Chain A
Amino acid sequence: MYDAATETVNATLAAPLDETGLIRAAQSGDADAFERLVRAYDQSVLRIAMNLLRSPDEARDVYQEAFLKIFRNLRQFRFDCSFHTWLYRVVTNVCFDHLRRRKVRKEDSTVVETQDGLVDQVTQIEEVGPAANPERQTWNRELSAGIAAALQELTPRERMVFELRHYEGLRLRAIGEILGTSEEAAKNCLFRATQKMRTRLEAFV
């Protein structure tokens, strides 16, 4: 179907075997179970943090803070919502905290958010990936930088909704729960984000 790409992401997110069993084991002190829970989600968490904050150092802090919060509070988790809703709620709050703190320290935000900084990060990541044909690489690099720049023009909330829906494949209902808002509000947010992105990326289409 049309939405095949995001559905695949969804499937890998849902894949971790008996998640409830893992959570219960981790709650009773099984460290391996906790580590498996972390590994089921940590790439997604790191990706969100990277794309939201555009800074490896801050992404690293978000990763650490978020999973420690989960670790410290896991025993209080009562299955009132799904585990991933709780996890992404924690991650979202930690990310927003970082963005707020950054606003206070203005000088940081200019360092992180300059166009040059972005290009640098993309170049770094590129070196890790497999070597493909150079023209394609240049195009991908420009596109990734373009998408990143377009994302930076969204509000943090729009950016988060867009990341979670488009790139992590979460449903709007879950995103609403994560952000503590209604599905309808999340939908409006996604709608605005999509419109802005499309206008901004018109040149690439």
Chain B
Amino acid sequence: MNCAEVVKQIPMYGYGEISAEMEERIESHLTECEACREELARHRAFVDLLDERDEPIDPTLLTTCRADLRRQIVAETASRPHTGWNWLGSVRGFTAFHIPFRVPVGAIALVAIGWIGAHYAPARFGGVETAGLVQPMFSNVQSVQPDSSGNVSIAVDEVHRRVVSGTFDDPRIRELLLSAVREESNPGVRVESIAVLKDSADLQVVRQALIDAVSHDPNPGVRLKALEGLKQYASDAAVRKALANVLLKDDNAGVRVQAIDVLTAHSDDSIVGVLQDVMQKEDDSYIRARARNLLEAMRASIGTY
């Protein structure tokens, strides 16, 4: 190998990106050639220089990216519960094992929204079926009364699935959706009900249901969906009060991020106190940064923290 060939190979030699055979040839040349050893030394100095580049990632940027991603994924999963991602808790697993319905008093039927495919018909109710009661969704024995002739009278409460369809203007449909938001134990159904309802949040009763969901629903995916519906009512006093509470108390950072975004879309002095509380209590650096910016923009003190 001559010097020119060695010099050309030095960078790849440095990266360890050449064959063992080539490496040996270079090294044997280096032991004999002072000029190439010097060139290697210069190359090493150059590499050391590159390694001194000191550009750590801005931690705020990283936190913001992570929060954005989390929020986007939760939102996507919430709008497509079929995917099986359990950001919503085990949405699907539920239908198979759980007691499926708590039926609100006065509801006439259950809204069977698309994907609740499995129905609950445990083997122990097989006898009921043969007695002519077709496919009970959920049955409950209320009383058992044997008589002297050897007959037994059993009072059974049961629920059947029925598909009810109609437009949102139909009060029956609306009532079913509202009760599904409040009563349905399957979070996937609650999300889908909210997705339909949220476009009608101008109705007081719907808005209240969304406020209740964002404040009390145990599932973060459902709370996020409800928040989405409340976005355009950021100036409504009751909505603001609920969102301030969410911002301070919700245990899910993704929900808090969304809450501060909605709350601050309509900026007024009434949220100063809330933002100051955020500065004291919040761990998530994205949310803190937002609260700080907003306080600064409103020329309010950031508070003691």
Contact = CB atoms under 8 A, between A and B. Distances in A.
Given A144-B53, A190-B15, A46 B46 contact: no
A144 B55 contact: yes
Contacts of B57: 43, 46-47, 50
Interface string A45-58: 01100110000100
Contact of A64 (B11, B52, B65, B84): B65
B53 A42 contact: no
Contact of B83 (A29, A64, A204): A29
B237 to A, nearest CB: 34
Contact of B52 (A30, A46, A67, A140): A140
Interface string B63-106: 01110111011001000000111110000000000000000000
A38 interface: yes
Contacts of B49: 143, 201, 204-205
Given A46-B57, A191-B12, A31 B50 contact: no
A28 B83 CA distance: 9
Contacts of B166: none
A62 to B, nearest CB: 9
What bracket does the count of chain B residues touching chain A fall in?
Answer: 35 or more
B189 to A, nearest CB: 18
Contacts of B65: 42, 46, 60, 63-64
21 contacts: A1-B16, A2-B14, A3-B14, A28-B84, A29-B83, A30-B86, A31-B85, A35-B70, A47-B55, A56-B61, A63-B68, A124-B58, A128-B60, A144-B53, A144-B54, A144-B55, A148-B55, A167-B53, A172-B17, A190-B11, A190-B15
Interface string A165-188: 111000110000000000000010
Interface of A: 1-3, 5-6, 28-31, 34-35, 38-39, 42-43, 46-47, 50-51, 56, 59-60, 63-64, 67-68, 71, 122, 124-125, 128-129, 140, 143-144, 147-148, 165-167, 171-172, 187, 190-191, 194-195, 197-198, 201, 204-205
Interface in B1-46: 11-12, 14-17, 42-46
Given A46-B62, A64-B69, A147 B45 contact: no
A125 B55 contact: yes
Interface of B: 11-12, 14-17, 42-46, 49-62, 64-66, 68-70, 72-73, 76, 83-87
A205 B46 CA distance: 6
B54 A38 contact: no
Contact of A129 (B45, B53, B54, B76): B54
Contacts of A194: 11
A165 B15 contact: yes
A3 B42 CA distance: 15
Contact of A3 (B16, B52, B72, B85): B16
